[in-house]
Amino acid sequence: MINIEQMALVLDALPDPALILSKSGRYVAVFGGKDGRYYHDGSGLVGLYLTDVLNPNKTNYFLGIIEQALASRTLLIEEYELSNKDVKGLPDAGPDKPIWFEGRIQALDFLVNDEPVVLWVASNISKRHELELQLRQLSDTDQLTGLYNRRRLERDLTFQFDTFQRHRTPTSILILDLDHLKSINDQLGHYAGDQIIIAVAETCRTQFRKTDSAYRFGGDEFVIALPGVEHSQAVEFAEYLCDCFYTELQKYAVKDLFATVSIGVASIEALDTSYEDTLKRADAALYQAKRNGKNRVISNTA
């Protein structure tokens, strides 16, 4: 068996910091944190309160978690970030990225100075978090254009549809399909076709507001989601975009061979049962735009 002095040394040798925090946010004790790659010495915190160290938002967040752990008596696992702006006395905008932590918080079965206390073990998970972000980004993105892919479209439109159902916030959808891409591929090669697809993506990026999103839906098909945009405004925007594409794609013209874009527009309506109903209407409008001669916008209401 190890004795009590050895136990103190064991606690001190822990790679991750293990804090004892009281209900009112006092740092009662700090153990471990010996992995110098991630942690500074935290012993200076003992006796201070969260509010001495952290700004009000973060203090309240930590106090809330402590409260929750004390009430539930179960192990809580929380991911959170700490950046310069959260810590008192540091400049708001530092060069450092926020540090991400996984906190494991457990109520302890004793009081300190008549106060309930929790054990809070904090592990630096910044690398894992960064990797997760990169993976998510990769799995959501089309490789050729850098636009979002169909998988991300399904997620975003499901969210917009739910928002519409709850708050009646409008969302309009544009479906775009390149005209004449097959002839360009056949006559000028697949690389030339790729450049046209990339130019469409680039035009979207330069014309968009922050809330607009473009997705590569299939080979030469794109979807644009316009949250907060009513149908009539969406049609106006589609007309404007159609002209932008025309001007932009002319730059890739070889003799009289150049691509244009046909667009179908629809908006989420009260009768729609899912975003797919809206998408179908936009697709029907696109089909009509193709039949009416391409390089044009057709809108569809329920």
Query: From residue 148 to residue 177, what is the string marking binding to ligand GTP with x (rule CB under 6 A)?
Result: -----------------------------x
Element (H, E) at 281: helix 275-291
Is the alpha carbon torsion for 188, 298, 234, 151 positive or negative? negative
Tell me which DSSP letter residue 98 carries: P
> With respect to ligand GTP, which residue has the nearer C-beta, 85 or 294?
294
SS3 call for 266? strand
244-250 CB contacts, 8 Å cutoff, 24+ apart: 244/203, 244/207, 245/176, 245/200, 245/203, 246/295, 248/199, 248/200, 248/202, 248/203, 249/196, 249/199, 249/200
Site for ligand GTP contains 194 (CB under 6 A): yes
Contacting residue, 16, 86, 156, 179, with ligand GTP by CB under 6 A: 179
C-alpha distances (whole Å) from 210 to each of 172, 173, 207, 237 are 15, 16, 10, 15
CB of 57 to ligand GTP, least distance (A): 46
Q: In terms of CB distance, is 129 or 152 closer to ligand GTP? A: 152
Task: Give the residue carrying structure tokens 């740092």.
Answer: 27
Among 53, 197, 200, 263, binds ligand GTP (CB under 6 A): 197
- Binding window for ligand GTP (CB under 6 A); candidates: 15-23, 27-35, 115-123, 178-186: 178-186
Q: State which residue, 34 or 294, has the beta carbon closest to ligand GTP.
A: 294
The one among 190, 205, 209, 291 contacting ligand GTP by CB under 6 A: 190
**Helices H / strands E in the chain, number of each:** 9, 10
Contact status, residue 214 vs residue 206, Cβ threshold 8 Å? no
Do the beta carbons of residue 274 and residue 161 sit within 8 Å? yes
The size of the interface with ligand GTP (CB under 6 A), counted in residues, is 17
45-74 mask for ligand GTP (x: CB under 6 A)?
------------------------------
Residue 162 CA to residue 176 CA, distance in Å, equals 24
Question: Min. distance of Cβ 73 from ligand GTP in angstroms?
Answer: 56
Q: Which is nearer to ligand GTP, 76 or 181 (CB)?
A: 181
Only one of the segments 74-82, 160-168, 192-200, 273-281 lies at the binding site for ligand GTP (rule: CB under 6 A); that segment is 192-200
Binding site for ligand GTP (CB under 6 A): 144, 177-183, 185, 190, 193-194, 197, 219-220, 290, 294
